[in-house]
Amino acid sequence: MVAIGKEIIKRVTGTHAPVETTLHILQSFGKENDREFVKAFDPDDPKLENHHQHILVYYPKYEDFYRNHKEEFANRATESIERILGRKLTSEERQKLRRAFELAVEYGKRFHDIFRGIDENRYHMVAESAKVHRTEGFKAIEYAEKTLGVDLLEKVGDIILELNKLFPEFSKPEEVYGDRWYEFLKKRGVKPEELKPQKEKHPTTLKVVSSSLTAEKVEVLSILQALEFADYSEKAREKALQKLSDRIAELSEEDPTPENLQKLGLYSYALEIIKAKRWEKIEKLREL
């Protein structure tokens, strides 16, 4: 679900932090607790176990999320795109995005159902298969299907097809399933060329964010949006301030070019907004 959500957000807004944006939306359905120590692993030494402090978010069970929050997730995700773009979506755009996010939730549910009752060892075997078998020229999907005993294309092919109709070339299922994908399309009466982008005389579909909305502005808006989702809680403020401070520190290490100074100004402005709790300035920043 997160993978599909982040791809939708990336395509429509051009943001460089689509996963973070998607997770912020999901976290708004969870309950945040106090800081706790959690296990982590040093990437330089996977065998060395460390402990770090993190704010943990407890999510509802997927069955509850699907039953009670499916439509609300689609609404919040669509609203987040409006915030990042800084404009209202047309009714056609909104309807299209809502459907795409609903498909993301449905996709997650089907995989949740597939993995229900699977023992932990088999789950981890599937999760690691892509990394292990990529270098061996072996399709990870074949390994996953063999391990789980299911035909994944039959389980989720209709969702993949609809997403590629909504957003042409949204994914490349032919690279994952090979000829099976074309056989699937034939059964559904769909020609592969129908899923290619079509030139429109009067375009009405969503366009990728314009170049005037820089990556830095999108990142800042994503940070501020996460703060809004958290109702401007003190913990969320601390987290946002830390992220902005880190970016300012990184840019300060670089040579002072006009471009870098503009970036520094943007991050510093956002930092001061949060410090002063001047939330009305966020909307003005979006309108730039």
Identify the residue whose tokens are 């990336």: 10
d(CA 100, CA 268): 35
- What is the predicted pLDDT for the residue at 137? 44
Q: How far apart are CA 270 and CA 125, in angstroms?
A: 44
Q: What is the pLDDT of residue 157?
A: 92
CB atoms within 10 A of CB 223: 24
The pLDDT value recorded for residue 201 is: 46
Structure-block tokens of residue 226: 């996460």
Instruction: Give the pLDDT of residue 30.
Output: 65
271 to each of 22, 200, 222, 245, 288, how far by Cα in Å? 22, 42, 13, 8, 17
Series of mean pLDDT values for 10-residue runs along the chain (288 residues): 80 66 69 52 51 58 80 84 80 88 89 77 63 54 79 91 87 85 92 77 43 62 76 84 88 82 86 87 72
pLDDT of residue 135: 46
Helix (H, G, I), strand (E, B) or coil at 39: strand
Pair 253, 263: CB distance under 8 Å: no
Q: Are 27 and 229 in contact (CB under 8 A)?
A: yes
* pTM listed for this prediction: 0.61
| pLDDT attached to residue 19 | 62
